[in-house]
Structure 1
């Protein structure tokens, strides 16, 4: 695992051994960011199921200003901290050590990019996107990127958002919602 492109491109990322997290492969990560960018001119990103932190780090590497990473697993939190240190841009990252649903109650400000890569067994994307919208946490031009198992069928519309792009990469499906 590595940062695919941008300021930190090529730098290695640590991942958690075992089945606690399911890191996005470099191929899927590169394809995902090519779908939505591939580069950004600032903005704020929310990674609600951070795992190793690789997606948020990729977003910062490609030009986002700041990232909020949410992770409940203690071992994964340690990996995220190590990966953030590797960037030497500590001020760009905030790690919330809690589950996604609790974090939704505490978040403030607006996000320009939301990354939802929940564990395959816990698909709560529809409810979480709706809650983010109801709590006014989403910028007008927000992109919501969902990575799921390829067999998961997300709805055409969630709240005020519709599917903009959707592609399958191996066992993963990437769905991008916009207003």
Structure 2
């Protein structure tokens, strides 16, 4: 696992020890960023099920201004912090150990909006429709921002969720990437 492109291109990233997390493959990560825009000029990113932090770190490497990483697994949080140090991005990041829904509710109090939100929950614990609804109904996403969901191919997400619409869905083996934005 590595940073695919940008200023930290080629830098290796550590995976979370054990089998509780499923890192996004380099092929899928590269596809995600080819879809949403290969490079950014600023913007705030939320990596909600951070795991190793690969998606948020990739966004930082490609020009995002700041990223917030959230995972409820202690080992994942430690891995994200280590990967951020490896990439020298600790000043551009906040890392929290929290449940996804609680983290979203805490972010509501800060009155911030994200340019990109990555939702890559463990396949067995997906609550994507509810989380997308919270994000969109409470304006956590910038008006032209995107929510990127990584999920099992067997999971079918609706064309519309609250104030949002699915704009794209692509499958890579047993993984599907579905992207939402405001209607």
Shorter-normalised TM range = over 0.9
In 2, the alpha carbon distance for the partners of 1:40 and 1:65 equals: 9
How far apart are 1:70 and its partner, in Å?
0.4
Q: Which runs of 4+ in 1 moved over 6 A?
A: none
User: What residue is the counterpart of 1:78 in the other structure?
Assistant: 78
In 2, the alpha carbon distance for the partners of 1:168 and 1:135 equals: 29
Q: TM-score, normalised by structure 2?
A: 0.95
Q: How many residues align?
A: 179
Q: TM-score, normalised by structure 1?
A: 0.97
Alignment of 1:83-102 (within 5 A): 83-102=83-102
In 2, the alpha carbon distance for the partners of 1:130 and 1:153 equals: 16
Give the aligned CA root-mean-square deviation in angstroms: 0.9
Gaps of 5+ in 2: none
How far apart are 1:94 and its partner, in Å?
0.4
Gaps of 5+ in 1: none
Deviations 1:139-177 (CA, angstroms, capped at 9, x unpaired): 101101000011110000111111111110111000111
In 2, the alpha carbon distance for the partners of 1:95 and 1:129 equals: 21
Alignment of 1:1-179 (within 5 A): 1-107=1-107, 108=110, 109-179=112-182
Deviations 1:63-104 (CA, angstroms, capped at 9, x unpaired): 110001001111111111110001112111100111111101
How far apart are 1:129 and its partner, in Å?
1.1
